Structure 1
Amino acid sequence: MANLFTRWLGAQRRERALRKHAIDDALWQRTLDAFPFYRHLNAADRERLRETTSLFIAQKEFSTAHGLELTDEMIVSIAAQACLPVLNLDLDLYGGWVGVIVYPGEFVIRKTVEDEAGVVHEIEHDASGEAWEGGPVVLSWEDTQMADASDAYNVVIHEFAHKIDMVNGEADGHPPLFRRWHAPLDNAAWSDIFDNAYDQFCARVDAVPQRRWSRFERESLIDPYAADHPSEFFAVCSEALFVTPDAFQSEYPELYRLLARYYRQDPANVGALTGYSA
């Protein structure tokens, strides 16, 4: 009886959230039209994404910095992009934190790092996004609007892939695997494909002479930044899966299949993905 009441209460809360944070038809259509990567979704998927986006907005607190005006268009645009990776998973993967902070453009990150000799350094660098473990996601509004489908770049998907990766603790490129969604994927199967792909990519980056670096950055589908850490490789490859799925599948077919199985989406319409079900 208690379980039935709990489910009923959850359903009531969901319906209230969907009513309170309903997205205007015109605004939703503008949101979909702004980004080519929504086109792989069928009508039912788009409607589920709309509902998931409303629920996300109900759960999160959006704020801005440096005088940027917060608008409904801004909230819905960011929320819809954030919800795409969890469309066939669970919005609870974004639980445990509430803040989304939006800057007009790039912002400065200050970090304390320790080098190999044990010396601690204070460093600063510009960033378009940052995800804090247990804390907010920080985004550049300018960067969230970059929608060139020829470039595997999406700062929202990148940072929210980090959030998924952090469900198990510190981001390490090994996101949580759940039997109800990801069987027969397990940690060993993930490592066999992902870790090997990461090692090969790092070797490829390391082999590029300095004089050819700018050319490599232009020609590589995967940003060389992905070689910095397995968590960055996971986030950058997640961007590629959704933003440039055909190119990603063509250049990295095994890695494409792994991430498509993980997210339970097949944007390149490869079909017959082992262990994949919509």
Structure 2
Amino acid sequence: MFEFLRKLTQPDPLASPLWPAIGRAMPLLHGLSDEEWARLETRMRHFLRHKYVEGTHELTLTESQRLVIAAQACLPIMNLEDKAYDAWSEVIVYPAAFVSPTQWTDEYGLVHEAGQPVIGMARSDGPLLLSLPDVEQGPWLDGRNVVIHECAHKLDMLNGRPNCFPPLHADMSRKAWNRAFERAYADFRNRLYQGLPVSIDPYGAQDPAEFFAVLSEYFFELPHLLHREYPAVYEQLRQFYRQDPGARLPVIGVQPCAQDELTPCHAG
């Protein structure tokens, strides 16, 4: 009861002279209707009131940077519910790419640890970790959006480890989802194996979870490209996210990605 009253008396996170100008300037949000804009702002208010969004390694976030993070994070759940992100409460932002330590056990039972540079991570134990330069590059409709990528992992984790199978809505078909993603994933990996040019970030071939996260980036940033490459996947994502970015964003053509242009990212 007291917690509820406390939240009611908190200042409006969007009562800022910087908003909505920052959002209106983000290509990622172009074309939203007044109704969609209102829903996005509702999700952002909840997000900023319930998430600890702070910098680390001597990075102090500005108000505008928090707003940019919240807008990108809340776009995927604009037409869903706030509780979609309730399983985690922290967003930690690094001043640049950071090293993620990983452990593995060899055939003799010895545990080894190494690190790799990443620009984002959706940790299974809670926090969302992001690189600020990549956060700020995110809204520019180039198919690369680390905030959406990591938030897609978080949605995928709602029913266990990320595996390209998040909890589907009751009116969605599990069979249709599996068929669309399995066929697209097999085709994408086969193209890369044959050395053919691809128009989607090759990092999506790492595993099914990364495929879902990468294609979520394209769904929100380059929807016409995704629809051209994998229309069945586009339709499943349209049903899952309950929105259709292709109906509001401009058609943008891109050159095929070179196979060595892997996007460093990790969910775990």
Pairwise same-fold verdict (TM > 0.5): yes
Cα distance per residue 1:74-115 (max 9 Å; x no partner): 211111110100111112111122111001111111101357
Given the superposition, is the C-alpha separation of residues 221 and 120 from structure 1 closer, same or farther in structure 2, using an over 3 Å criterion? farther
Q: Please give the alpha-carbon distance, in whole angstroms, between the structure 2 residues aligned to 1:140 and 1:34.
A: 21
| Percent identical | 39
> Whole-Å Cα distance in 1 between the matches of residues 13 and 112 of structure 2?
47
Aligned to 1:155: 146
1:244 equivalenced with 2:222 (yes/no): yes
Shift of 1:35: 2.1
**What is the number of residues matched between the two proteins?**
247
Taking the aligned partners of 1:116 and 1:227, their CA distance within structure 2 comes to 26
User: In structure 1, what is the equivalent of residue 178 of structure 2?
Assistant: 191
Does residue 97 of structure 1 match 2:78? Answer: no
Of residues 210, 213, 219, the one that matches 1:232 is 210
Amino acid at match of 1:198: Y
Contact map agreement 1:152 1:221 (CA 8 A) in 2:
no
**Counterpart residue number, 2:129:** 138
Query: Runs of 4+ in structure 1 displaced over 6 angstroms?
Result: 115-119
Give 2:234's match in structure 1, choosing from 256, 259, 264: 256
Deviation per residue, 1:188-221 (Å, 9 max, x gap):
221111122111111111221xxx8xxx4xxx33
Further displaced range: 37-46 or 166-175: 37-46
Secondary structure of the residue that 2:18 maps to in structure 1?
A: helix
CA distance in 2, matches of 1:63, 1:29: 21
Q: Give the conservation status (yes or no) of the 8 Å contact 1:149–1:244.
A: no
CA distance in structure 2 between the partners assigned to 1:159 and 1:135 by the alignment: 12
- Distance in 2 (alpha carbons) for counterparts of 1:25 and 1:44: 20
Can you give the 5+ residue segments of structure 2 that lack an aligned partner in the other structure? 249-268
CA shift digits 1:124-150 (9 cap, x unpaired):
111110001131000011100114745
Helix, strand or coil for the counterpart of 1:20? coil
**Aligned-residue RMSD, C-alpha:** 2.5
For 1:40 and 1:261, locate their aligned partners in 2 and report how far apart those are by CA, in whole Å.
19
Deviation at 1:30, TM superposition (A): 3.1
* Distance change (3 Å), C-alpha of 1:248 and 1:59: same
Call closer, same or farther: CA 1:43–1:58 in 2, change over 3 Å: same
Name the CA shift for 1:63/1:22 in 2 (closer, same or farther; >3 Å): closer
Alignment check: 8 A CA contact 1:21 1:57 kept: no
**SS of structure 2 residue aligned to 1:268:** helix
- Structure 2 CA distance, aligned partners of 1:204 and 1:117? 36
Alignment of 1:1-278 (within 5 A): 16=8, 20-24=11-15, 26-114=17-105, 121-147=112-138, 149=140, 151-179=142-170, 183=171, 185-208=172-195, 216=197, 220-269=198-247
The 2-side partners of 1:104 and 1:90 are apart by: 30
Alpha-carbon distance between aligned partners in 1 of 2:149 and 2:230, rounded to the nearest angstrom: 18
Please give the alpha-carbon distance, in whole angstroms, between the structure 2 residues aligned to 1:118 and 1:226.
Answer: 31
The runs of 5 or more residues in structure 1 that have no matched partner are 1-8, 271-278
Counterpart of 2:8 in structure 1: which amino acid?
A: R
2:243 and 2:109 map into 1 onto residues whose CA distance is: 43
Please, what TM-score do these two structures have when normalized by structure 2?
0.84
Q: What is the CA distance between 1:70 and its match in structure 2?
A: 2.1
Distance in 2 (CA, whole Å) between partners of 1:198 and 1:233 is 7
The structural deviation recorded for 1:50 is 1.1
CA contact 1:21–1:55 (8 Å) conserved in 2: no
Secondary structure of the residue aligned to 2:77 is coil
Is the 2:27–2:141 Cα contact (8 Å) retained in structure 1? Answer: no
Preserved contact between residue 139 and residue 145 of structure 2 (Cα < 8 Å): no
